[in-house]
Amino acid sequence: MTHMRPYRVMGILNVTPDSFSDGGRFLDAGAAIAHARQLLAEGADILDVGGESTRPGAEPVPEHEELARVRPVLEGLAQARIPASAQISIDTCKAAVARTALEAGASIVNDVSALRADAEMVGLVAESGAQCCLMHMLGEPRTMQRAPGPQYTDVVDEVKAFLEQRLRFAVEEGIREQRILLDPGIGFGKTVEHNLQLLARLNELASIGPPVVIGTSRKSFLDRIRARGASETEPAGTEDRLPATIASNVLAYERGASVLRVHDVAAVRAALAVAAATLDACPTARGMTQTS
């Protein structure tokens, strides 16, 4: 029996007071660790711990504050009995925060700046042998969605060129290509239409080679699409975006995504299991390729 390309689910653990969906809920280390256990119980393969919000309009967080938020959580996770197969990811652009996380047992650095924000980051990742996720972002969180809005000639071509360039840089600086993941940055300096183009043509980004990470979970563009279809003017709350999150993740997987970064692990994992089984029943469907 053949099997389709594997996938991993990355559970989001925001240790912040201002993240767009669950800001403040897990700022307490005890609450964060309890939620981490829940995410793992629901089937998370990776826990992505972040102490600085990257929502549109977010202000930068000083290094000492970010460390104060994530250190007790990382130390708690190191002491907790979590599955050996589960990985810890640190969502940060700061080398000092990444170093602390790696020393505490993290094995992935999820850098939304794609190694551009801190000159020491690339050397740290290369020396440590950690995995690294490189993400595309137009501008930075504080300004990326300001009027007149993000502008691209062809968003997929431009994001692909950027990711290829950052991949070359990382490899030239000593990070093994096999340790790199790529993220097109859904919602990071993109309009609804840009996000849809990236999802629809995700196979073009997957063709670069490294695993593709997709993060659409509970993002506002999903609700704008839903509201548009229902002729509504008021968006729903973030908790009501699960159906749209599931749809976008299933389609992203079908088009080549390997890591799905989500808040609702159990629901998305169930949907992906059905999608994978369906595609496995017809390996040539929609141009999908088989893996041994």
Instruction: Report the length, in residues, of the chain.
Output: 292
Using CA atoms, how far apart are residues 290 and 283, in angstroms rounded to an integer? 6
Q: Of 219, 241, 255, 269, which one is the catalytic site residue?
A: 219
Partner residues linked to 164 by β-bridges: none
Q: Of 69, 94, 160, 261, which one is the catalytic site residue?
A: 261
| CA 18 centroid distance within chain | 18
- Look up 94 and say whether it is catalytic: no
98 three-state secondary structure: helix
Partner residues linked to 9 by β-bridges: 260
Using CA atoms, how far apart are residues 59 and 85, in angstroms rounded to an integer? 35
b/e map 197-228, b = 16+ CB within 10 Å: bbbebbbbbbeeebbbbbbbbbbbbbbbbbee
- Look up 219 and say whether it is catalytic: yes
User: Which helix (H) or strand (E) covers residue 230, if one does?
Assistant: none
DSSP state, 60? P
Other Cβ atoms closer than 10 A to 231: 6
DSSP state, 3? B
Q: 131, 108 in Cβ contact below 8 A?
A: yes
Which residue do the tokens 């897990």 mark? 26
Q: Which residues contact residue 119 at a Cβ distance below 8 angstroms, ignoring those fewer than 6 apart?
A: none
Amino acid in the structure at residue 104: A
Active site residues: 219, 261
